[in-house]
């Protein structure tokens, strides 16, 4: 087989979701699929108001959710034109058990391929996929635990399709209007390239505090702060809030400090509408050289 030579660097997804440390890979696993959470700068770990993408967030939140079922799909476009298609569902079984499943497909950069003589031999489009399934169980009325099990695969070259298994483990405490959650995410196997080199996943520990309350008959407010400590030594923090009127119109905003972690710093804003259980949500990211002009839209149904 003729040796392929890549003429441009394989920027597999965008620089926004590349790993922040040289010994890390699959940084895109931290990319947000949910336009609701994206509009709040990703601050969603301790929230039980939206369970559609719990397989990418915290399955321990499902038993506390007001809805019995949530399912939806989303589309996101990064600042450099890469697209992400995602879908997810969360379901409460009785009052103490929650099930969730989700998946996404990330359309990455495209590059020309040349043979050893310098002749163009077509092109190749990079991509990645992530599948996740989770379970949440309420142990006592105020405490639940949950776990997600994931498989991630990435296509960098025609002959290179590295994959990895990973898991998230969380606990959540819910008392009245206050929710607190802690756990670890993306604990998993190493990623190996064609040369046999090993890279770790972007594993991290999370802590989050959420406040959510109905104010009077038609007003709802929610605010959350998340802290994210990556095992590579990086640190990130997100603060997000949303306001809902008459359970029909929602306004959201947030800010994430990313530092040198896999997701850079950015600000976010978004809107949502709900009618007979059907949700239409959108988010927009700004105040970031890497993520500027990134947006996400999603359609979901809950009851």
Range(s) of the domain holding residue 205: 5-302
pTM of structure: 0.87
Residue given tokens 């640190």 in the structure block: 235
Q: What is the Cα Rg of the chain in Å?
A: 20
CATH number for 279 = 2.40.160.60
The Cα–Cα gap between 66 and 48 comes to 8
Do 121 and 143 meet the contact criterion of CB atoms below 8 Å apart? no
Mean pLDDT to the nearest integer, 77-97: 89
Number of domains in the chain: 1
Note the pLDDT of residue 114: 74
Cα separation of 45 and 224, whole Å? Answer: 8
End-to-end CA separation in angstroms for the chain: 55
Of residues 246 and 78, which shows the higher confidence score?
246
Cα–Cα dist 26/199, whole Å: 9
Q: What is the pLDDT of residues 9-67, one digit of tens each?
A: 233 333 334 434 457 889 889 989 999 999 999 999 999 999 999 999 999 999 999 99
* Structure tokens that stand for 73 in this block: 């799909």
The backbone torsions φ and ψ at residue 2, rounded to the nearest 5 degrees and listed phi first, read: -70, 140
CB 233 within 8 A of CB 253: no
Q: Return the higher-pLDDT residue of 3 and 223.
A: 223
**How many alpha carbons lie under 13 Å from residue 134 in its C-beta half-sphere?**
37
> pLDDT for 95-134, tens place per residue?
999 999 999 999 877 777 777 777 777 777 888 999 999 9
Interval 273-301: pLDDT, tens: 999 999 999 999 999 888 888 999 999 99
**C-alpha to C-alpha distance for 120 and 108, rounded to whole angstroms:** 20
CA angle 81–200–61, rounded 5-degree value = 75
282 vs 274: CA distance, rounded Å: 12
């Amino acid at each position: 087989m003729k040796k392929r030579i890549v003429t441009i660097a394989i920027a597999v997804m965008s620089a926004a979701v590349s790993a922040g440390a040289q010994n890390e890979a699959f940084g895109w696993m931290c990319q947000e699929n949910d336009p609701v959470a994206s509009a709040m700068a990703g601050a969603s770990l301790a929230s039980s108001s939206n369970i559609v993408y719990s397989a990418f967030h915290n399955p321990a939140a499902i038993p506390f959710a007001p809805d019995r079922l949530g399912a939806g799909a989303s589309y996101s476009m990064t600042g450099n034109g890469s697209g992400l298609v995602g879908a997810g569902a969360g379901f409460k079984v009785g009052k103490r058990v929650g099930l969730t499943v989700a998946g996404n497909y990330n359309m990455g950069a495209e590059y020309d391929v040349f043979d050893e003589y310098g002749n163009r031999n077509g092109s190749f489009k990079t991509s990645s996929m992530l599948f996740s399934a989770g379970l949440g169980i309420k142990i006592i009325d105020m405490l639940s635990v949950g776990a997600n099990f994931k498989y991630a695969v990435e296509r960098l070259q025609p002959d290179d399709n590295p994959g990895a298994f990973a898991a998230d483990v969380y606990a959540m405490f819910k008392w009245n209007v206050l929710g607190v959650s802690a756990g670890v995410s993306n604990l998993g196997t190493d990623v190996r390239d064609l040369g046999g080199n090993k890279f770790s996943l972007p594993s991290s520990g999370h802590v989050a505090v959420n406040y959510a309350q109905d104010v009077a008959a038609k007003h709802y407010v929610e605010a959350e702060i998340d802290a994210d400590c990556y095992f590579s030594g990086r640190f990130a923090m997100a603060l997000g809030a949303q306001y809902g009127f008459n359970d029909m119109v929602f306004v959201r905003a947030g800010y994430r400090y990313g530092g040198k972690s896999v997701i850079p710093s950015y600000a976010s804003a978004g809107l949502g509408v709900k009618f007979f259980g059907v949700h239409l949500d959108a988010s927009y990211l700004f105040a970031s050289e890497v993520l500027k002009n990134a947006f996400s839209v999603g359609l979901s149904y809950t009851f």
